[in-house]
Amino acid sequence: MSKFVPYANESDVLNIGQLSIENRLDRITLNGDVDLTADQAGLADARALHALLGDVVARLEAQKLPAKLPPAPRVTVPNPFD
């Protein structure tokens, strides 16, 4: 498995518990949930999440960022069931 590099592509997905972390070129999307339980499994998940967020912060701090990204353009596609 390759290392999840934040903002590197539009395809990587990392799962920690039921939390899905999706890589994008301009954002990282987190969906779902994770229980950081007081046991070895919870510690492993907490460490993985901590490492991931550390990588995200480092990538953001290493570049010049706009105050806010513009909204993504909306694209309407034909309904295939019509």
pLDDT at 1: 44
pLDDT block averages, 10 residues each, the chain of length 82: 86 95 95 97 97 97 94 89 90
Tokens of 71: 């909204």
pLDDT at 47: 97
- Closest residue by Cα to residue 48 from 64, 61, 26, 30: 30
Type of residue at 64: K
Q: Which residues contact 50 (CB under 8 A, 6 or more apart)?
A: none
pLDDT at 2: 60
List 29's β-bridge partners, or say none: 22
Q: Which residues contact 13 (CB under 8 A, 6 or more apart)?
A: 20, 21, 22, 23
